[in-house]
Amino acid sequence: MKKRVISLASITMASLLWACQATSEEVNLYSARKEALIKPLLEEFTQSTGIKVNIISSKADALLKRIQSEGKNSPADVLLTTDAGRLHRAKNAGIFSVIRSEVIDQNIPEQYKDSDSQWVGLSVRARPIMVTKSAPSITLSTYEDLANPELNGQICIRSSSNIYNQSLVASLLAVSDEELIEQWAKGLVANMARSPQGGDRDQIRAAAVGQCSVVVANTYYLANMLSNAEKETDFAAGSSVTVIWPNQEGRGTHVNISGAGILKTAPNADNAKRLIEFLASDKAQEIYANVNFEYPVKAGISLHPILQKWGSFKADTLDMDKLGTNNASAVKLMDRAGWK
């Protein structure tokens, strides 16, 4: 009888330990992406792996400061953010560890990964030119054309404080002389229809009501406007513009990424790696392309019909590191050019 009691107690204790281990499977994500956009991916990850994702959402710079202030006691495992420039800032802050993964190496092209393997790109974000359908006489084929005097008072674009515009200028600095790019920026400023204000959707809305004819914006904003016909005003605004893929005869259209890195202090480093590997998988890449309207980093993923309608395009193959290393110079240049 005594042996049986001990045996049952052992079994009970083992079951409790297993249950504790099972429920402790988690990963802590600090995310600069809107929770509504990333939630479908995280839910699919949890369903596939059983690993719970605890998410803290905030602005990218605020999350980096939080991680730095928390130091070695930070609960964060993964920092997920937008733009290679922000990933570069996080790397320079010394918060990332090296990511070693055959899955990531197979699924993500080198151009979308940090040269020191401290962060990886998970989705591609194209930033082309958009022109109103009511202005068919406007002909643009390059970003450089945005400085043409013929476009005086016709361009809507976000402010110089916007990281997407900073990275666009950083990409230009990687292939051209700084003095020439500064002259280009001054020409662009002279062609602005209004002082920069609002986000990318606001530029498209302004074009729809005739405030400008040319917009520079990320495609996923436009796709979101076109994906919901019930929001009649935004749907009509999105329908009023056409996408032009710049620099197709040269370096290609400027693209950026959303991406992630694993913290040096990650308490759940293995689960953090599994999360990033999942985000690079076919299933997650399909969600990026068909729910978030971003372009996948992995080849062979089918695109949402809205993206397909815009056709294929040649993307700039510039090393994403350049968007970070050139950021400070880009910001100073934009300031000198009077880009508010």
Find the CATH number of the domain harbouring 81: 3.40.190.10
Shared domain check, 248 and 133? yes
Shared domain check, 230 and 327? yes
pLDDT at 193 over 60: yes
Q: Residue 15 falls within a domain, yes or no?
A: no
Q: Token digits for 147?
A: 């400085």
Q: How do residues 256-294 score in pLDDT, each as one tens digit?
A: 999 999 999 999 999 999 999 999 999 999 999 999 999
Q: Residue 311 falls within a domain, yes or no?
A: no
Q: Token digits for 25?
A: 């499977």
Q: Residue 13 falls within a domain, yes or no?
A: no
CA atoms within 13 A on the CB side of 285: 20
Q: Residue 16 falls within a domain, yes or no?
A: no
- Average pLDDT of span 12-27: 50
Q: Given pLDDT bands bounded at 50, 70 and 90, which one contains residue 137?
A: confident
Global pTM? 0.88
Shared domain check, 242 and 101? no
pLDDT at 133 over 90: yes
Shared domain check, 32 and 94? yes
- Average pLDDT of span 9-24: 39
- Which residue range forms the structural domain that includes residue 182? 126-253+319-336
Shared domain check, 282 and 145? no
Q: Strand 26-31 to strand 52-57: parallel, antiparallel, or no bridges (unpaired)?
A: parallel
- Average pLDDT of span 94-112: 95
- Residue type at 152 in one-letter notation: N
**CA dist., res. 125 & res. 219, Å (int):** 7
Strand partners, 81: 259
Tally of domains within the chain: 2
Shared domain check, 113 and 135? no
Shared domain check, 185 and 55? no
Look at residue 17 in the predicted model and tell me its pLDDT.
37
Q: Which residue has the higher pLDDT, 37 or 174?
A: 174
